[in-house]
Amino acid sequence: MGSAHRHPSQYDRVGSKLRLHRWREAGLVVLLAIVYFATTKLGLGLARVHANASPVWPPAGIALAACLLLGHRMWPAIALGAFVANVTTAGSLATSAAIAAGNTLEGLLGAWLVRRYANGVKALQRPRDIFRFVVVGSGLSTLVSATVGVTSLTLGGFVQGSAYAQVWSTWWLGDAMGVLVVAPPLLLWGAGRAPMWRRLLSVEAACLGLGYILTGILVFRGVGVVNAPIGFFWIPVLVWTTYRFGQRAAATAILGLSGITVLGTLRVALRSGGQPLC
């Protein structure tokens, strides 16, 4: 009799845990879809060659990191975020669906290749795995999205045949750089426990962050590319970050530097009379 009374409560606990797990999974999918949509709109807002092809594409790195850290089950979030972002920017329902499919396949294929050839989420721990990550994660998997996306736009009449190579190369380079810059900090922070910093070390980190911001203002204060050697001021700050805080902080700093560089370059371009497509 006692065991008969215990079984329902055990089943209830299992069922409760299962429901909680499903809700957690659904929440992760929704959150990833929102993040992917927001970064996609950001990337498309920097498009110049074509409204759907950006030289800056953070979603590629986010998709790869999500599939590696959270599993292939995150693909609906990538597909939904990409479709909604593209259909509200340019093209048709068909081309937006094709682009979303290409972006999703890119993330899934990239994760599979990195797991198969570059040690998965630990791809950034050994030099040979880092090299393989660059080749398969950034170089090969990104061919899928660029080819599927530009081909669908060409067939839909949104890209002229003569511009195919230019749009394709811009698309591919944007995705490849997105993987190289965005995926590493996400993998490094997501695959292990966060370090415990002493108060003095936290103050030092804050000073470093301020140093990056001030250097960015100095580099892009209005002269930009004209005084490009000023950009070398970032090197000692980056070396300091790597020496004192390690690989995670260095990858995060590179991501921040890339963001500052993109914003600064865009500011210089706008001041010189250039306008983004979107």
| Residues 120-132 pLDDT 10s | 999 998 999 999 9
- Stated pTM of the model: 0.82
Domain extent for 275: 196-278
Based on the fold, state whether residues 164 and 201 are members of the same structural domain: no
* C-beta neighbour count of 129 within 10 angstroms: 17
Based on the fold, state whether residues 228 and 144 are members of the same structural domain: no
* DSSP H helix total and E strand total for the chain: 9, 0
Based on the fold, state whether residues 138 and 125 are members of the same structural domain: yes
Based on the fold, state whether residues 166 and 247 are members of the same structural domain: no
| Residues 229-274 pLDDT 10s | 666 777 787 888 888 888 888 898 888 888 877 777 776 666 655 5
Boundary-marking domain end, from 177, 192, 207: 192
Q: Residue 4: is its pLDDT beyond 60? A: no
Boundary-marking domain end, from 144, 172, 192: 192
| Residues 84-105 pLDDT 10s | 998 888 778 999 999 999 999 9
CATH number at residue 13: 1.10.1760
- Predicted pLDDT at 190: 86
Boundary-marking domain end, from 166, 192, 218: 192
Based on the fold, state whether residues 149 and 278 are members of the same structural domain: no
Residues 75/100, Cβ–Cβ less than 8 Å: no
Based on the fold, state whether residues 180 and 212 are members of the same structural domain: no
Residues 69/61, Cβ–Cβ less than 8 Å: no
Based on the fold, state whether residues 275 and 184 are members of the same structural domain: no
Based on the fold, state whether residues 235 and 184 are members of the same structural domain: no
Based on the fold, state whether residues 254 and 226 are members of the same structural domain: yes
Based on the fold, state whether residues 185 and 217 are members of the same structural domain: no
| Residues 140-186 pLDDT 10s | 999 999 999 999 999 988 888 888 999 999 999 999 999 999 999 99
Stretch 20-43: mean pLDDT: 87
Q: How many domains does the chain contain in total?
A: 2
What percentage of residues in the chain have a pLDDT greater than 90?
44
Residues 176/139, Cβ–Cβ less than 8 Å: yes
- Predicted pLDDT at 11: 58
Q: Which residues of 167-199 are buried (b: 16+ CB within 10 A; e: fewer)?
A: bbebbbbbbbbbbbbbbbbbbbbebeeeeeeee
Of residues 198 and 24, which shows the higher confidence score? 24
Q: SS3 helix, strand, coil % of the chain, rounded to 5?
A: 80, 0, 20
Q: Residue 13: is its pLDDT beyond 90? A: no
What is the rounded distance in angstroms from the CA atom of residue 129 to the CA atom of residue 120? 9
Question: Which range has the worst mean pLDDT, 81-90, 132-141, 193-202, 221-230?
Answer: 221-230
Long-range contacts of 240-243 (CB under 8 A, 24+ apart): 240/208, 241/208
Based on the fold, state whether residues 156 and 243 are members of the same structural domain: no
Based on the fold, state whether residues 224 and 102 are members of the same structural domain: no
Alpha carbon 57 to its chain centroid, in Å, reads 7
Q: Residue 72: is its pLDDT beyond 80? A: yes
